[in-house]
Structure 1
Amino acid sequence: MKINIPESDQERIVIVGGGFAGLTLARELKKQDYQVVLIDKNNYHQFQPLFYQVAMAGLEPSSIVFPFRKAFQGEKNIFIRVTEVERVDTAKKQLHTPLGLCNYDYLVLAIGADTNFFGNEEIARKALPMKSVSEALSLRNRILTDFEIALSVTDYERRQQLIDIVIVGGGPTGVEVAGALAEMKRYVLPKDYPQLPTDEIDIHLVEGADRLLLGMSDEAAGKAQEFLEGLDVKVRLNTMVTGFDGEVATLSDGSQIPAHKLIWAAGVTGNKMPGLPQEALAKGNRLAVDRFNRVAGTERIFAIGDIAYMEEEDYPKGHPQVAQAAMQHAKNLGKNFKRLAKGTSMQPFAYRDLGSMATIGRNRAVADLPGFKFQGAFAWLIWLFVHLFQILGVKNKVFIFINWVWNYLTYDQSLRLIIRPKEGPIKAAKD
């Protein structure tokens, strides 16, 4: 059985994944002479850089997602199918999905990356990742539910387990989560939970390297740590979390931190696509590609975004797994498909680093831009502007802007709702 997609004289490009790379490529191709099929397990695009604000009750989930079908309304050569790809048959040029087979002339894999627990099964079962809107909502529910339970707990050690939080990974995500939690502890929780000793809440940020923000400058890393420690975040460098049983986090130096929540932001690994040749697999479970984003050992299969491992002279370990690299891959490949349609040669990709930023909270951010390095309020304003500009949809931009202004003026997010599937009431904690 085949997926019901109209037959066409146009060559078919199938894009798997609707993240930054996949969506950007589909938009590049919408006016070209191809039939484009976009496959994703969700019917919406997710703006990953703001997952942490959903988790910290700063934004509505609907503000950072955008329906694919709305993005391509009126485009007659774009077809959306919501399903998962089980494997690819390179010989027959077919994808196997629960909905049936999908033929392709060209296949573009933009399947991204998932949380990397580095083989620690216990941590994988108990930790809280944040690679999707649903995981961000789950984290928000856990944080707020534990605070509600803590109100009724009289035992000091048990209460500490409920209110203390461990964050693993000192990259942009870990730093931003720690900063948001610290601001929530300082400005919001004392008003919401006046009976709870919020000064007892400890936020631990654990990083295995000797500094934060390894992809940024020493100045940015030092300032980020200074900002976090100014917000009473306990930063622990040169330390790894080796175990977590849901109640206690065990560290590489033998110490332990009693905590009910461990947020994992320590690394990513490429999502798997069965059926590709063995030579296509690169380190980090990424797909090795040439300078045209063509997957090694294949002719008409391409990979873009986080899943693509492309070496350049300036990037011998591949491009950083960030949104700007994903979108640059997509735009160059879109232009190359146009060249293929005209019978001209493809142009090799060259990554252009537009800089890196991370925000730690109100008026606290760090930015490394080409030729400039700055920290503080101006970096924070630049961060706000860049992320607001990248959000899809005018309504989403307006809603996010209003939320940010309201939060800035009132020091009070208003989205602290525990929303979860149908289940029993919150259970009392055992003293």
Structure 2
Amino acid sequence: MDIPPIHGDQKRVVIVGAGFAGLTLAKKLSPPCFQVILIDRNNYHQFQPLLYQVATSGLEPSSISFPLRKIFQHYKNVFIRIAEVKHIHKTTIETSVGTIEYDFLVLAHGAETNYFKNPSLQHNALSMKSVGDALYLRNTLLQNFEQALIAKSEKERKALLQIIIVGGGPTGVELAGAITEMKNNILPKDYPELDFNQMKVVLIEAFPRLLSGISEQSGKKAQQYLESLGVIVKNNLSVKNYDGNVVELNNGDTMSSRCLVWAAGVKGMPINGLPVSAVLPNSRIRVDSYNRVHEMVNVFALGDVASIQSKESPKGHPQVAPVAIQQARLLARNLKKLVSGEKMTAFQYQDKGSMATVGRNLAVVEIGKLKISGAIAWIIWMLVHLMSIIGVKNKLFILINWLWQYVTYDQSLRLILKPSENNKKSRS
């Protein structure tokens, strides 16, 4: 691979992944000390917390995505390569576009959907981990409504109108709320021929309550909000099998649905070349308190793929953006210390709170011991997410969309986008 030469005593840091961790680290590594090679399979950074709004026609994909080359236009020491990593060696990595030498390697390539080795779910369920996944879900939802208009039987129509969401974490809760608000406020106007009393949104959670990562009080409040909107919440249940039409539950019951969204967990994305002892059963990478990969010297891992196991977090830190950002900021300082021969600082996560939105004026927010719900929590949720989006233009577009939806109870992005027949032929 053609890579710019290193100048003087510069150290080359290769970062795999342009998520929250990779992006933050690349920005924090200063030019005199480091040359940064940022590798990602996409040429953009995506804001995953708002993927569900793309899936439910609330936002355009471009509103939550930002081109990497635009982000780093003024960073003269950062070089971007669109590639996939094939194998890690002691001082080099093999990628789909060639081999790169490194002084420090940072793995921040994130997580993927965990189907828990269930092939039927992996093949037939829909996921929510990328812009492509969100668009595919949007297409599926809208196409199912179109097919429901011409369904030949009541049984087929009900299956097309029943949406199953598996996983009661923030993604599942927010998606269930957004789809139900579409059902209540928008879809009856788009499809007056359909009886939307037949449409069911079912949220299935294996644990006794929703949002297990926050307090029981907030979890119960979120469930109350969902049920007030019309979501059917089923706790203490799990899905055993799904063939694209029938959902089999662990209690023996079955449900008919042509759309099952799997939001029940994530796992690390494995990379060849790591020591066997460094890869945990859920494919997360075992790292020490400095985010250094187990049994490796100059290789680090950050964010969702990394797991720092301690008494405080025996299963590793939660796979959320604040953890990734804090780890990246600390690693930038630690790499400078490492180069200058100073002692590195161990990572300590500062939990600034948790939040989830259910719908219009409905959200739960926890900041320390403070628990907020309702309209105030919803405003806080919006402000925090709006400020986290990259780019003034994207912030403005999202704010305009949210204001428009609030005033009109409508979304104007209900488009079924699919490749043309010519594109399909050219790919085959």
| Distance (whole Å) between structure 2 residues aligned to residue 104 and residue 343 of structure 1 | 19
Q: Which amino acid in structure 2 is aligned with residue 8 of structure 1?
A: H
1:128 CA drift (Å): 0.2
1:312 CA drift (Å): 3.2
SS in 2 for 1:302: strand
| Distance (whole Å) between structure 2 residues aligned to residue 381 and residue 6 of structure 1 | 48
| Structure 2 length-normalised TM | 0.97
Query: Do 1:147 and 1:163's aligned partners in 2 also have CA atoms closer than 8 Å?
Result: yes
Q: Which blocks of at least 5 consecutive residues in structure 1 are unaligned?
A: 425-431
2:100 corresponds to: 102
| Distance (whole Å) between structure 2 residues aligned to residue 306 and residue 317 of structure 1 | 12
1:75 CA drift (Å): 1.6
Q: Which amino acid in structure 1 is aligned with residue 365 of structure 2?
A: A
| Distance (whole Å) between structure 2 residues aligned to residue 4 and residue 349 of structure 1 | 32
Alignment counterpart, residue 112 of structure 1, candidates 103, 110, 121: 110
Query: Do 2:31 and 2:76's aligned partners in 1 also have CA atoms closer than 8 Å?
Result: no
1:32 CA drift (Å): 4.9
Matching of residues 105-184 of structure 1 within 5 Å: 105-184=103-182
Root mean square deviation of aligned Cα: 1.1
Q: Which amino acid in structure 1 is aligned with residue 69 of structure 2?
A: R
| Pair 423,162 (structure 1): closer, same or farther in 2 beyond 3 Å | farther
1:79 CA drift (Å): 0.3
1:391 corresponds to: 389
| Distance (whole Å) between structure 1 residues aligned to residue 331 and residue 247 of structure 2 | 44
Q: Which amino acid in structure 2 is aligned with residue 389 of structure 1?
A: M
SS in 2 for 1:318: coil
1:154 CA drift (Å): 4.3
Residues 1:82 and 2:82 are matched in the alignment:
yes
Cα distance per residue 1:276-295 (max 9 Å; x no partner): 11111124211111111000
Q: Which amino acid in structure 2 is aligned with residue 252 of structure 1?
A: N
Post-superposition, which runs of at least 4 consecutive aligned residues in structure 1 deviate over 6 A?
none
Matching of residues 36-115 of structure 1 within 5 Å: 36-90=36-90, 93-115=91-113
Q: Which amino acid in structure 1 is aligned with residue 33 of structure 2?
A: D
Aligned length: 421
| Distance (whole Å) between structure 2 residues aligned to residue 99 and residue 405 of structure 1 | 44
1:382 corresponds to: 380
| Distance (whole Å) between structure 2 residues aligned to residue 401 and residue 338 of structure 1 | 38
SS in 1 for 2:186: helix
Q: Which amino acid in structure 1 is aligned with residue 65 of structure 2?
A: V
| Pair 235,19 (structure 1): closer, same or farther in 2 beyond 3 Å | same
Alignment counterpart, residue 206 of structure 1, candidates 191, 204, 212: 204
| Distance (whole Å) between structure 2 residues aligned to residue 419 and residue 29 of structure 1 | 39
Residues 1:338 and 2:312 are matched in the alignment:
no
1:429 corresponds to: none
2:241 corresponds to: 243
1:340 CA drift (Å): 2.2
Query: Do 1:116 and 1:268's aligned partners in 2 also have CA atoms closer than 8 Å?
Result: yes
Residues 1:4 and 2:21 are matched in the alignment:
no
| Distance (whole Å) between structure 1 residues aligned to residue 392 and residue 32 of structure 2 | 25
| Distance (whole Å) between structure 2 residues aligned to residue 307 and residue 284 of structure 1 | 10
Q: Which amino acid in structure 2 is aligned with residue 78 of structure 1?
A: V
SS in 2 for 1:199: coil
Query: Do 1:294 and 1:302's aligned partners in 2 also have CA atoms closer than 8 Å?
Result: yes
2:316 corresponds to: 318
Q: Which blocks of at least 5 consecutive residues in structure 2 are unaligned?
A: 423-428
| Distance (whole Å) between structure 2 residues aligned to residue 181 and residue 75 of structure 1 | 40
| Pair 30,60 (structure 1): closer, same or farther in 2 beyond 3 Å | farther
Query: Do 1:3 and 1:99's aligned partners in 2 also have CA atoms closer than 8 Å?
Result: no
Query: Do 2:142 and 2:414's aligned partners in 1 also have CA atoms closer than 8 Å?
Result: yes
Matching of residues 288-327 of structure 1 within 5 Å: 288-327=286-325
Query: Do 1:150 and 1:163's aligned partners in 2 also have CA atoms closer than 8 Å?
Result: yes
Q: Which amino acid in structure 1 is aligned with residue 42 of structure 2?
A: N
| Distance (whole Å) between structure 2 residues aligned to residue 260 and residue 155 of structure 1 | 14
SS in 1 for 2:45: strand
Cα distance per residue 1:159-218 (max 9 Å; x no partner): 111111000000010000000011000001011111111121001100111111110101
Residues 1:17 and 2:17 are matched in the alignment:
yes
Q: Which amino acid in structure 1 is aligned with residue 348 of structure 2?
A: A
1:76 CA drift (Å): 1.4
Query: Do 2:355 and 2:364's aligned partners in 1 also have CA atoms closer than 8 Å?
Result: yes
| Pair 280,125 (structure 1): closer, same or farther in 2 beyond 3 Å | same
Residues 1:420 and 2:418 are matched in the alignment:
yes
Q: Which amino acid in structure 2 is aligned with residue 330 of structure 1?
A: A
Q: Which amino acid in structure 2 is aligned with residue 85 of structure 1?
A: V
SS in 1 for 2:13: strand
Matching of residues 259-270 of structure 1 within 5 Å: 259-270=257-268
| Structure 1 length-normalised TM | 0.96
Query: Do 1:30 and 1:36's aligned partners in 2 also have CA atoms closer than 8 Å?
Result: no
Q: Which amino acid in structure 1 is aligned with residue 237 of structure 2?
A: T
Query: Do 2:6 and 2:35's aligned partners in 1 also have CA atoms closer than 8 Å?
Result: no
1:409 CA drift (Å): 0.5
Residues 1:34 and 2:27 are matched in the alignment:
no
SS in 2 for 1:407: helix
